[in-house]
Amino acid sequence: MNLDVERLRAQAEEWLADDPDLITSSELSRLLAGLPGTAADLADRFSGPLTFGTAGLRGPLRAGPNGMNLAVVRAAATGLVRWLAGQGATGPLVIGYDARHGSKLFAEETARVSTGAGRRALLLPGPLPTPVLAYAVRKLDAAAGVMVTASHNPPQDNGYKVYLGAQLGGVLGAGAQLVAPADAEIEAAIRAVGPLADVPLGQSGEVLGPELLDGYLAAAAGVVDADSPRELAVAYTPMHGVGGAVLPAAFTRAGFAAPAVVPLQAEPDPDFPTVAFPNPEEPGAMDLVTALAREVGADLAIATDPDADRCAVAIPTPAGWRTLRGDEVGILLADHLIRRGVRGRYATTIVSSSMLRALCEKRGVPYGETLTGFKWIVRAGEDLAFGYEEALGYCVAPRIARDKDGITAALTVAELAAGLRSELRGLGDRLDELAAEFGCYVTDQLAVRVDDLSEITSAMARLRAKPPTTLLDEPVRVEDLLPAADVVILRGDGLRVVVRPSGTEPKLKAYLEVVEPVHDGDVAAARQLGSAAISALRTEMAAALGIW
């Protein structure tokens, strides 16, 4: 134990000597003074550096390499701009940020590193949605882009996403998030940075004017057919994030009435005081917006997550407001765009419903299936027309932003809903029609958070060593995606389970799907059977993983 404490002390002191931030250096000094009682905390902070996962760097705001802080950001920015120079990339670095704690500071530090290295740095004009940054990278022909955000993570987190411009990203990756080998090469460049005090810093970049956002809004409004109905009442919440001004502006620009916005959640607030977890998927997260929808008699309730790249939708039912699953919204959007004549490839990931494949085969359009994450979805093909993932992410306009975009997704959902409303129908009716045509695809997610990441490794090892031979009394076959990805897929007749570690949190996830045929048009009965099957499947998978 003494050796561990001394090792931790040496690591912390070395970090402290190079930390450019008085706040985090004071924090680390207090932990050093508290040794050995603070050894566990220090060990976590120095357990390793943050790495580019499914959605870039992401971690808690704290001192040390395993956290988001000014030192980590300076090193990341330095590694990035040196890598860009080594690749011969020309053009500016475009930088965006959300309204989280530290976001503006980290964005400006990135700009100072870029200008210090002789590269022009352009900052978005204030805290804005992530899709605006993805749009800006393409629009401004940037060498790369950086978005400082932790999306829907808890308030104590922040993150750092990197997007490549057309020069390095190519046709598929222009304005898209990093993939291999660029991510590993940039991480190596970060590790090679050396003392942060030696990094030259310049001015804090040029702040772009309002025309950038205006261009995005004009493009976003253009996703809606000019001749489609616009009569629709919408309740909306930005969930204390940066969509509060942008989404209503996009709606009015597209010809819809401005949505009613939840007052308590309308303004950006990095503490997210009205939600336990600022993720529209979490239980209770949509309560305030559905309450407002009831109050104003809305046809639809919409939420975007804090950086507005995800979109959640709730609809009225006889039993009350129901939040649609990401797979339900994804298939509604895909079917709508195909019916509108939007040609090209329709793509999703291994963790999403297989219904999109069936839809594409029936409608005669190209289908793509990728690994988890939008960095892969947008690379499904040059002909990509639409991509979605079950975690409420949708790309309805790859030409605008080659990433998930909650603003354009919300507009497209509104277009569909308004069209159905003009026929005295709703989104629920369209889902029933699709179920009658293709069967009921019932999906769910089984997830567990862990304190020790080794528990996830052990659970995946147990599953690989002894996978179930049957699920729901049906034989299943096993597909192991290692080494391409740490994923195990179990497939049977009318069922599918995908098991993988979370890309951004200490969590193990199992994505469940059961397909029930619809007999005599009785969609409700099929859904009930599917829900019962999903419940049983959850129990069987919990036992198979042996982690609960």
Triad 48, 50, 56: Cα angle to 5°: 160
Distances, alpha carbon 380 to alpha carbons 53, 387, 429, 516, in Å: 19, 9, 31, 29
Angle between helices 406-421 and 130-139 (to 10 degrees): 110
Q: Are 344 and 327 in contact (CB under 8 A)?
A: no
- Count of alpha carbons within 13 Å of 48, Cβ hemisphere only? 5
Token pair of 346 as six digits: 């329709």
Burial of 312 (0-12, 13-18, 19+ CB in 10 A): buried
Q: How many CA atoms lie within 13 Å of 90's alpha carbon, on the beta-carbon side?
A: 0
For the annotated catalytic residues, the residue numbers are: 151
Q: Tell me how far apart the alpha carbons of residues 353 and 454 are, in angstroms, rounded to a whole number.
A: 29
- Give the 3-state secondary structure of residue 515: strand
Kindly write down the DSSP assignment for every residue of 428-451, as one continuous string. HHHHHHHHHHH-EEEEEEEEEE-S
For 337, the token pair is: 């765009």
